[in-house]
Structure 1
Amino acid sequence: MTGTPADLLDEMTRLRARTRADRHAYVPPLLLFGVLVLLAPLWSDGGPPRFGVAGVWFGSPLQLYWLVAVVGGFLATAGWYLLRGTRSGVRTPIRPYLAIGLVGVVAISFGFPVVESFAYRVERSPYAQPSFTIPVAGAALLALGGVLALRSRLGSRGARGAATAAAMVFGLVALAMLDLRFAPVRPYAPLVTIALGLIGLAWLERSKVLGVISGCFAAAALLANLYNMQHVFFHLGVFARYEGEATMAFTNTLVPGLVLLAGGGVAWCLERRARA
């Protein structure tokens, strides 16, 4: 005997929720990036850069750590999604996510060392002032959104590839403006790269939960670049006003890292409930 229409509708709703839960695989990446962010202060008190090219110095411990963390985190996420998709039979496309990671790696590999090597000149340059960086970054983000919206309507593979390349250029321009504005003072631009990757992943997953978590992390990442959180800990009586680079890095990465860990825990509970 078949069930009533209401029973069939409830069963379809449960199956749909279980399918979405099986497709979603973002809990491990959230936890991984949360741990990587919290470990960053361990490399903030290292020695000088290892080598220089044309006056640009590369290879400080923090630069190398962020490079390894972003590259390793994005590749580990991609590998996890491929493995999870093979097991479940439902795979989320990850090429756009890897494109965001590539742009972020280029920005960290080149923009970060350039800005740090010429920090004094950059701070005095009119191109590092908010009157320049904010409008250019805003225009680049608008252009990025327009290209991504247009890409979904393109039919040929060549046109989609050109749109993807243009989107990566606009994304690199936006991250370059962030480097120009903030890197001489606080080297936390890689947090924004991670945030953009998670926002892109939320869009690919069509996940409101990941979207909320990514938005909260993006806000925390911007806060780390805009404001020195050590002042908050100083007024709370936890640290002195300045206790070295490691302490400053710890206070500025603590909130973003905890947001990811807490978000991963909440997402895990919600997915477990959906599969029940």
Structure 2
Amino acid sequence: MTDLPPADLLDEMTRLRARTRADRHAYVPPLLLFGVLVLLAPLWAAGGPPRFGVAGVWFGTPLQLYWLVAVVGGFLATAGWYLYRGGRRGVRTPIRAYLAIGLVGVLAISFGLPVVESFAYRVARSPYAEPSFTVPVAAVAVLALGGVLWLRPKLGSRGARGTATAAAMVFGFVALAMLDLHFAPVRPYAPLLTIALGLLGLAWLERSPALGVVSGVFAATALLANLYNLQNVFFHLGLFERYEGPKTMAFTNTLLPGLVLLAGGAVAAWHERRARA
């Protein structure tokens, strides 16, 4: 039996729970990593001829390749970090769902963006790129995705859970495809939304309100970058001309999302340091 008074024992248990959660949380390096990767994207935005074409679809512009490497590398580096951290701390957040989000996002970047950009003029004139089509389909896909994720833990057999996982990936891909159809002909920033979805999924797996807030703010800025040309803000502030080339446009549209991730990572690191104190 302990000699600590009940109030002191309760405080000690609270501190131990906070320290255990901090040991399990490992999202600070991924936030900082993705922040740096987003801020580096404008370096490859100047463009260039695609490297190869298949059935009229041209692949391999510098920015396409960069986003592919950044998203794949970022998700794999995050998974590797969680495995390493879990081995050292003895507690680890399961990351299979996070990797599934990354796979769906990579498929969207690998195929969706090149297809849309290769036929940008036709896509822009197609009724299937109109908000009256893309928004309802994306909304239905997101609702179906939520329903499948809610149902999956209640399924008894492994086969049923595997089928639910596959269905969730299909619905996620449909939602991202609608985003590609809607955004890519004007601004190639759909990969930001893939990163945002991954971080939101990680926040849910971590049961972390702090990561949820950072991911939510980042998702809002990523959506803003796809809906509105943020270079107009810099133009009205007198910092840039209305258009100074693709690198400047990419810089002004990725600056805010990248800074949100870096600032969120710094605040999260400070918060976790306090939790372990």
- Classify the TM-score, shorter chain: over 0.9
Letter in 2 for 1:222: L
The Cα of 1:155 is off from its aligned counterpart by 1.4
Equivalent residues in 2 for 1:80-95, closer than 5 Å: 80-95=81-96
Partner of 1:173: 174
Letter in 1 for 2:45: S
Q: Count residues with an aligned counterpart.
A: 276
Residues 107-165 of structure 1: CA distance to partner in whole angstroms, max 9, x if unpaired? 00001100000000000000000000000000000000000000011111111100000
Partner of 1:29: 30
Paired residue secondary structure (1:52): strand
* Stretches of 4+ aligned residues off by more than 6 angstroms: none
Partner of 1:219: 220
Q: Which moved more, 1:45-54 or 1:104-113?
A: 45-54
Partner of 2:47: 46
Separation in structure 2 between the aligned mates of residue 160 and residue 221 of structure 1, nearest angstrom: 31
Structure 1 runs not aligned, ≥5 long: none
Alignment pair present for 1:61 and 2:62: yes
Partner of 1:160: 161
Separation in structure 1 between the aligned mates of residue 17 and residue 203 of structure 2, nearest angstrom: 18
Partner of 1:204: 205
Paired residue secondary structure (1:87): helix
Letter in 1 for 2:259: L
Separation in structure 1 between the aligned mates of residue 77 and residue 105 of structure 2, nearest angstrom: 15
Paired residue secondary structure (2:3): coil
Partner of 1:135: 136
Separation in structure 2 between the aligned mates of residue 154 and residue 31 of structure 1, nearest angstrom: 36
Partner of 1:12: 13
Separation in structure 2 between the aligned mates of residue 140 and residue 3 of structure 1, nearest angstrom: 54
Percent sequence identity over aligned pairs: 84
- Give TM-score scaled by structure 1 length: 0.99
Paired residue secondary structure (1:57): strand
The Cα of 1:224 is off from its aligned counterpart by 0.3
Separation in structure 2 between the aligned mates of residue 20 and residue 262 of structure 1, nearest angstrom: 21
CA root-mean-square deviation: 0.5
Paired residue secondary structure (1:152): helix
Paired residue secondary structure (2:84): helix
Partner of 2:234: 233
Structure 2 runs not aligned, ≥5 long: none
Residues 80-126 of structure 1: CA distance to partner in whole angstroms, max 9, x if unpaired? 00000000000100000000000000000001100000000000000
Letter in 1 for 2:132: S
Separation in structure 2 between the aligned mates of residue 192 and residue 64 of structure 1, nearest angstrom: 17
Letter in 2 for 1:32: L
The Cα of 1:211 is off from its aligned counterpart by 0.2
Paired residue secondary structure (2:154): coil
The Cα of 1:48 is off from its aligned counterpart by 1.4
The Cα of 1:46 is off from its aligned counterpart by 2.7
Residues 1-27 of structure 1: CA distance to partner in whole angstroms, max 9, x if unpaired? 601111110000000000000000000
Partner of 1:262: 263
Separation in structure 1 between the aligned mates of residue 120 and residue 107 of structure 2, nearest angstrom: 19
Paired residue secondary structure (2:244): coil
Paired residue secondary structure (2:53): strand
Separation in structure 1 between the aligned mates of residue 230 and residue 112 of structure 2, nearest angstrom: 24
Separation in structure 2 between the aligned mates of residue 114 and residue 45 of structure 1, nearest angstrom: 19
The Cα of 1:63 is off from its aligned counterpart by 0.3
Letter in 2 for 1:161: G
Letter in 2 for 1:75: L
